[in-house]
Amino acid sequence: MAPRTPTLVIISGPSCAGKSPLRRALTRRFPELGERLRRPVLFHSRRPRPGEQEGVDYHFRTRGEIDELRKDGRYLVFETRNDVQAINLPEFAEMLSGGDVLYEGNVHIALALKARASSTLPECRVVDLFLSPLSSRELRELVQRSPAPERHLSELMRRRLLRRAYRQEQSLSLPQLQDIEVRAEAAFHELSHAAEFEHVIANHDGEDSDNWELLPEPVGDARSTLEALVALFQGEACSALESWPSDLLPPPDCSDNGLPS
């Protein structure tokens, strides 16, 4: 019997697009599928959020400690907004060669892992899903009607991020508010990379939404997004998925701050 082709599942999108609650909903609603998908544990310089565990969600280290990994050829190090992240490439390759893998996170890391999987393990099947806070139609209307679409999108994401933060923390420090600002301002730039993903879905239920976990089952866009991810993994068609042209959005003003180094 021929060995089964490994699958790399990628969930990406701007900060607070709904990536983490989607992963949790997948594990809760489809436990067999969730257990089958192993996750690489990256190094991250930000502090843990409520409920996150060292060595499970991330290896939480200082920026200086992660910067030192640049000297080690086994690691790929990324500047991600205000933070720095790193992934152990041999561990990632070994994990992928042994079965199905799920990466959920930053756009630039997602694209790098997608390219690396395709080049180092050609037989690997890659399933990617980019979560957008707006549909392609809504974005076209925003670009057509607004003289400053980046500003409007940043405000949308800023409000999502603030709602998420208040739910988790209740009160926010100045550094936390500054971090939210960086994430909100990066959203338009990160959306400009959505065309590099094969599948895009409009998810209006971000990480700040009750639709993921308040009821026994996800509802609204949370449910549609979960169903789309499962359909993709199972090789089934899904009408909610979009494929974005590269010229959907005008070039962002901000510089690319997510390249590996």
DSSP string, 190-217: HHTTGGGSS-EEE----TT-TTTTSSSS
Question: Which residue type sits at 90?
Answer: P
* Burial group, residue 162, by CB count within 10 angstroms (0-12, 13-18, 19+): middle
The confidence score (pLDDT) of residue 3 equals 59
pLDDT at 251 over 50: yes
Query: Where is 75: in which H helix or E strand?
Result: strand 75-80
Q: Percent of the chain at pLDDT above 90?
A: 84
Q: What is the pLDDT confidence band of residue 255, given thresholds at 50, 70 and 90?
A: very low
- 11 close to 19: Cβ distance less than 8 angstroms: yes
pLDDT of residue 258: 52
Structure tokens at 6: 């490994």
> In the structure encoding, which two tokens stand for residue 171, read together?
């009160």
Domain at 7-39+100-233, CATH homologous superfamily: P-loop containing nucleotide triphosphate hydrolases (3.40.50.300)
Per-residue pLDDT tens over the stretch 216-230: 999 999 999 999 999
**pLDDT-based confidence at 1, cuts 50/70/90?**
very low
Residue 3 near residue 188, CB atoms below 8 Å: no
What confidence tens digit (pLDDT) does each residue in 163-181 have?
Answer: 999 888 767 899 999 999 9
In this predicted structure, what is the pLDDT of residue 261? 42
Q: Which pair of tokens denotes residue 188? A: 């338009």
Is residue 122 scored above 60 in pLDDT? yes
User: pTM (2 decimals)?
Assistant: 0.92
Split at pLDDT 50, 70, 90, the class of 120 is: confident
